[in-house]
Amino acid sequence: MARMKGATVVDTERCKGCNLCVVACPLDVLALTSKEVNRKGYNYAHEVLSDTCTGCASCATVCPDGCITVYRLKTD
Amino acid sequence: MADQEITLMKGNEAIAHAAIRCGCDGYFGYPITPQSEVLETLAEQKPWETTGMVVLQAESEVSSINMVYGGACTGKKVMTSSSSPGVSLMQEGISYMAGAELPALIVNVMRGGPGLGTIQPSQSDYFQACKGGGHGDYHLIVLAPASVQEMADFVDLAFTLAFRYRNPAMILADGAIGQMMEKVVLPPFKPRRTEEEIIKECPWATTGRIGGRKPNIITSLELRSEEMEVINLRIQAKYREIEAKEVRYEEFMLDDAEYAIVAFGSAARIAKKSIEIARSQGIKVGLLRPITLWPFPTKEVKSLASRVKGILSLEINAGQMVEDIRLAVEGAVPVLHFGRLGGIIPDPDEVVEVLKSSF
Amino acid sequence: MTREEIIEKGQLVYKKPTLLNDTPMHYCPGCSHGVVHKLVSEVIEEMGMTDKTIAISPVGCAVFAYKYIDVDWQEAAHGRAPALASATKRLWPDRLVFTYQGDGDLACIGTAETIHALNRAENITIIFINNAIYGMTGGQMAPTTLLGMKTATCPYGREVKLHGYPLKVTEIAATLDGTCYVTRQAVHTVAAINRAKKAIRKAFEYSMQGKGSNLVEIVSTCNSGWKMSPEKANKWMEENMFEFYHLGDLKDTGADK
């Protein structure tokens, strides 16, 4: 059965670690870093469960800073 | 020639006709005595059907000046008119326009204050017009008409100066000039600039990013102190240039004068009659009439002080321009002030009496 | 299939609109302003109006909106944006003219300009961010602050006796003959964001079709001012703000005109 595979690219320097993308993701793909911070000092969003992403773009849609780019590919 | 036709009208009406004729794009105003005829005349003339000029009665002077601010941002020739209390309400918007370096015309047909004051003529907004008025270090270009003809002529001049220096200009008239009827030759018709001309002449204006140019932003805000100082210094340099190039004044019977009156607007008309009376009594007195109140004719007043024994500042207020005269004269000769308050226009005879008793 | 392969071969599903430039926005983490900036940018791009838009920014948190969305901007005095917009639209009738204002700017100091511009049927759109607080100045009471809500200037909670009632400007706007489209939206979920975007698009289209004035209120969060995490602020908004500020269209006469 064909299924959607997605991938997110987070502009980690632009990210302010608001966590809204993490909350919006229905599949827990994203999380904030626990230790690493960007140059502004924020923990930033990153993929932790890459394989489960379907590319629904919920994370990117709710991101107030437009940090997330989403790609999607149909697989067999 | 039709354009040279002499007509009889009020100063306020002349402002309205001159605005339509000089290619003004928009007028935004709010009724207040003694200048409501400006808006009334425009409404009656319906220029939106002829030249395409926008005329809008706003909900307040606060709104009308901010409509002018918005219109000026887009490079259009826009104006408002009001009288003293209304112009007080406009000060915030005027400061923003000075800060954002925008061309616009504000007409103040002054009435007596403070507060609601009176609807009778006054010149008591000299400080407000010439010293800033609102917050921050800024100046308006201030023109003081002394006749209905000058009310008509100064509209185009004010716009020309406003656009030359990207700075708001003010016509500072008073209730007498606004309300009096006099003969006037209205200026010839000039077409409004096309949108293409505006975009070309005002590359800074917020006209939309036509041709894909970079965004234009009109703001007076800059939180970085170093940048804000640079902006202020640039504006101050512009003011120095205006002071050097745009001083306008009229001299009347000063060649042999032993005493001088300095007066603007309505007061200058009184002064001329007073001079006629004084000279008939053997007192050699002349007049220097500043036409630009800012920039003030400082050099001319200073030079006057080297030729006369004393100067009388005749103003329809408690003594405002007299301070600028004293700064120019630097104590070289006595500088006195005479004025009437509360909406009373000085009588030429009482001015002569003041001249006699003072010098 | 690796992540890299999806990115390389896959379809681009979502990307920040190009009209929203790369300048980092000054808004606090999780602020609703950013989402609305994205929506406004997307709609302008999709309408092909980038070169014909003149926007007016307020005084308040969105004062620097002009730094982020690459159209022509005029930065208004506090509350006066609708006056600037009125003149601008009348002088340039074929331009898309909109204001972007917060609750302090629009519903308090600029109430007169807002009501009169709307009622004159100016062909403009007003985007109204209502987060029930003064964000920029540090969380003071706004005209839209809910009863009982604590702010820096009502630290024990807003009470009627001291502060009167919160103001529903959007309800007032819906009663005005000059308004065409009046709606209240939010941007806390994907579904809400999609609806808000459609509302902004509709308002902008009505503006360009000369159908009158349009008001799009976005009930928003101010997590800094509310002293909550962005996630908690969204929940608080759903539980408290929506009860008083009902979401949905209040008026849409666009089809009739």
**Model confidence, pTM:** 0.97
Between the CA of residue B27 and those of B71, C8, C202, what are the distances in Å? 9, 57, 31
pLDDT digits (tens, 9 = 90+) for C210-252: 999 999 999 999 999 999 999 999 999 999 999 999 999 999 9
Residue A48 above 70 pLDDT? yes
Q: Could you tell me the pLDDT band of residue B8, with boundaries at 50, 70 and 90?
A: very high
Closest to B83 (Cα-Cα) out of B45, B54, B125, B28 = B125
User: Domains plus CATH for chain B?
Assistant: 6-195 (3.40.50.970), 249-358 (3.40.50.920)
Q: Give the model's pLDDT for residue B4.
A: 77
Chains that touch B (3 or more CB pairs under 8 A): C
Q: Give the model's pLDDT for residue C119.
A: 98
Mutate to test the interface with B, among C91, C118, C176, C208 (most CBs of B within 10 A): C91
The answer to whether A55 contacts C13, with C-beta atoms less than 8 Å apart, is yes
DSSP B63-106: HHHHHHHHHHHTT--EEEEE-HHHHHHHHHHHHHHHHHT--EEE
B208 vs C contacts (CB less than 8 Å): 51-54, 71-72, 92, 95
3-class DSSP state of B311: strand
Q: Give the model's pLDDT for residue B336.
A: 98
The answer to whether A73 contacts C6, with C-beta atoms less than 8 Å apart, is yes
Complex prediction ipTM: 0.97
Q: What are phi and psi of C253, to 5 degrees?
A: -105, 10
Closest to B170 (Cα-Cα) out of B266, B126, B105, B122 = B105
pLDDT digits (tens, 9 = 90+) for B276-309: 999 999 999 999 999 999 999 999 999 999 999 9
The answer to whether C27 contacts A67, with C-beta atoms less than 8 Å apart, is no
Do chain B and chain C touch with ≥3 beta carbon pairs under 8 Å?
Answer: yes
3-class DSSP state of A17: coil
A9 vs C contacts (CB less than 8 Å): 7
The answer to whether C92 contacts B68, with C-beta atoms less than 8 Å apart, is no
The answer to whether C3 contacts A7, with C-beta atoms less than 8 Å apart, is yes
Cis peptide before B34 (omega within 30 of 0): yes
The answer to whether A58 contacts C190, with C-beta atoms less than 8 Å apart, is yes
Q: Could you tell me the pLDDT band of residue B325, with boundaries at 50, 70 and 90?
A: very high
Q: Could you tell me the pLDDT band of residue C43, with boundaries at 50, 70 and 90?
A: very high
Q: What are phi and psi of A2, to 5 degrees?
A: -70, 140
A42 in contact with C, Cβ within 8 Å: yes
pLDDT digits (tens, 9 = 90+) for B157-204: 999 999 999 999 999 999 999 999 999 999 999 999 999 999 999 999
A65 vs C contacts (CB less than 8 Å): 24-25, 27, 34
Q: Which amino acid is at B71?
A: G
Q: Rounded to whole angstroms, how far apart are CA atoms C67 and C25?
A: 8
Q: Give the model's pLDDT for residue B3.
A: 52
Per mean pLDDT, which range of A50-54, B31-35, B291-295, B333-337 is the poorest?
A50-54
CA end-to-end span of chain C, whole Å?
54
Which 189-218 residues of chain C touch chain B by CB within 8 A? none
Q: Give the model's pLDDT for residue B155.
A: 98
B74 vs C contacts (CB less than 8 Å): 54, 88, 91-92
Residue B353 above 60 pLDDT? yes
Minimum-distance CB partner of B74 among C50, C54, C66 = C54
pLDDT digits (tens, 9 = 90+) for B120-140: 999 999 999 999 999 999 999
- Strand segments, DSSP code E, in chain B are 6-10, 26-29, 54-57, 78-82, 104-110, 141-143, 168-174, 181-185, 217-218, 249-252, 259-262, 285-290, 292-294, 310-314, 335-338
B100 vs C contacts (CB less than 8 Å): 75
Q: Give the model's pLDDT for residue A1.
A: 65
Q: Give the model's pLDDT for residue A3.
A: 86
Q: CATH number for C27-256: choose from 3.30.390.30, 3.40.190.10, 3.40.50.970, 1.20.1090.10.
A: 3.40.50.970
Q: Which whole number is the average pLDDT over C125-150?
A: 97
Closest to B296 (Cα-Cα) out of B140, B150, B84 = B140
Do chain C and chain A touch with ≥3 beta carbon pairs under 8 Å?
Answer: yes
For B219, which residue in chain C has the nearest alpha carbon?
C75
